[in-house]
Amino acid sequence: MDELEHVRVAVIGSGFGGLGAAVRLRREGITDFVVLERADSVGGTWRDNSYPGCACDVPSHLYSFSFAPNPDWPRAFSGQEHIRAYLERVTDTFGLRPHLRFGAEVRRARWDGDANRWHLTTAAGELTADVVVSATGPLSDPKIPDIPGIEDFPGRVFHSSRWDHDFDLKGKRVAMVGTGASAIQIVPSIQPEVARLTVVQRTPPWVMPRVDRGVSAAERWLHGKVPATAKARRGLLWLIREFQVGAFVRHPKLLKAAERIAANHLRRSVKDPELRARLTPDYTIGCKRILLSNTYYPALAQPNTEVVTSALSEVRGSTIVTADGTEREVDAIVFGTGFHVTDMPIGDRVTGADGRTLAEHWKDGMAALRGCAVDGFPNLLFIIGPNTGLGNSSMILMIESSLNYVADFMRTLDATGAAALQARPEAVTAWNEEMQRRAARTVWNTGGCKSWYLDANGRNTTAWPGTTAEFRRATRQLKLSEYEVLAPVAGRREAVEAVEAVS
């Protein structure tokens, strides 16, 4: 039987996290790696989400890699097509295509303790790897509620991240289930063309004005010719958001000013007092993700749009039924109901040193040392792992910090001559306890809402309770004292002790 292909590193996913990991590995002089992607192109969530109106709610110049600035962003907040094109350019600029394996969804990853390596089974075959970097992202697998009767619905049913472009919504009766970040972009995009739009809202979001504009040709020219100007723009955008963090994580009462802005935005946009009351949240702004839109409220106020303030409970033939008994005939149901964030599907596919899956290991809640490493899972690292999400800034900043950690992890493996490094259980526990202690006073925990930041046990396993600068410091360098060194190469014990002394 032929030996399986073996690589130094296997990266799972080719979104921002996976491509960033690939670039960083090459910069570290590591070229023996593959990027395993289940789809047929790069892009991650920016490939999957192609719904009408899809755009980013983080300013373009902050939503890009620091090592790959883009002077040609067309708008202050760029659309999905521009972000996806940016990721394609990053792939080509840094020579990543030879490392990409498309149609290679990871079905199983198992740690082989005898060989001290990972055995991966993918849709394209099997291979082994010394290190696995999981960059599947929290917004990759759609969450669709189990609604009685949905399987017998005669029309079209799809999730916002799996948009059915073959189905023409023009003149149709459409139910939009959910009012999150995707829904507020979809609603104003499809409202003018559908016959009837029923928005099924469980909880109204806080919506702030979207201060968007086109980036002028002069600005783009200046950023291209004088890169320092683009860097300064990025730095200013970052600094503004760093100053906002205190209100989210320490003093939620300071968010009252933002709440007044959002309330005024609603009042100006919706004149009908009854509809305005249905759209007014009863929780502290920031508890759920703050949304940005100038067109969402006006679309809801149109004659062909109805807001139902009750959860979808049943489907009877072509009729949707909400918990309050409201019935509406529809031709299509679009779910904007989010993703598997606190129960990552990759967890069921990864088996650690003790034979348990990651999902079993995390049955009481996700936890990872510095958001990257999990005890019992040697040489497995996460990009956008537990407690690394943000509520007000760019996830690219967090991704790049995690990439620093991955790079130092690889350097430490080489310096110690170890076959593997495994996070110590006590280190993971201490880190997680600190995360939960700090999260307890954040608006996500105290704001009076139920959100995807919290898991089924009410624990915040998603959001980072600090500034991006704090996370950068926490992940700048691996502390070997937080790890067990597995099977160091003979004669290298002195190297291990030297590295431990330094860390």
What are 445-484's pLDDT values in tens digits? 999 999 989 999 999 999 999 999 999 999 999 999 999 9
Question: Please, which pLDDT band fits residue 1 given cuts at 50, 70 and 90?
Answer: very low
In this predicted model, what pLDDT tens digit does every residue of 397-455 receive, in sequence order? 999 999 999 999 999 999 999 999 999 999 999 999 999 999 999 999 999 999 989 99
pLDDT of residue 494: 52
Q: Give the model's confidence band at 345: pLDDT under 50 very low, under 70 low, under 90 confident, else very high.
A: confident
Neighbours of 28 (CB within 10 A): 16
> What is the distance between the alpha carbons of residues 47 and 374, in angstroms, rounded to a whole number?
29
Residue partners of 170: CB distance under 8 A and separation at least 6: 193, 194
**Range in 387-391, 479-483, 486-490 the model is least confident about:** 486-490
Angle formed by the axes of helices 217-225 and 227-249, nearest 10°: 100
pLDDT at 490 over 80: no
What are the start-end ranges of the H helices in 336-394? Answer: 358-361
How far apart (Å, rounded) are the C-alpha atoms in residues 245 and 239? 10
- The string of pLDDT tens digits covering residues 167-192 is 999 999 999 999 999 999 999 999 99
HEC secondary structure over 265-299: HHHHHCCCHHHHHHCCCCCCCCCCCCEECCCHHHH
Measured between its terminal Cα atoms, the distance across the chain in Å is 44
Rounded Cα distance, 177 and 156, in Å: 13
Confidence class of residue 497 from pLDDT cuts 50, 70 and 90?
Answer: low
Mean pLDDT across the stretch 368-397?
97
pLDDT of residue 478: 97
Confidence (pLDDT) at 501: 56
Question: Tokens 């209100």 — which residue?
Answer: 247
In this predicted structure, which of 1-15, 158-172, 302-316, 357-371 has the lowest mean pLDDT? 1-15
DSSP letters for 466-477: S-HHHHHHHTSS
CA distance 323 to 434: 39
**pLDDT digits over 193-235, tens only?**
999 999 999 999 999 999 999 999 999 999 999 999 999 999 9
Per-residue pLDDT band for 3 (boundaries 50, 70, 90) equals confident
pLDDT band at 344 (very low <50, low <70, confident <90, very high): confident
Mean pLDDT of the chain: 95
Whether residue 99 is predicted with pLDDT greater than 90 in this model: the reply is yes
> How many angstroms separate the Cα of 199 from the Cα of each of 115, 253, 300, 317, 373?
54, 31, 8, 19, 40
Nearest CA to 444 among 305, 286, 318?
286
Sheet holding 327-329, edge to edge: 312-316, 319-322, 327-329
Q: Three-class SS of residue 34?
A: strand
pTM for the whole structure: 0.95
Mean pLDDT of 149-177: 97
pLDDT of 181 reads 96
Where in 318-428 does DSSP place strands (E)?
319-322, 327-329, 332-335, 350-351, 380-382, 420-423
In terms of phi and psi (left: phi > 0; alpha: psi -120 to 50; beta: otherwise), the region of 227 is: alpha
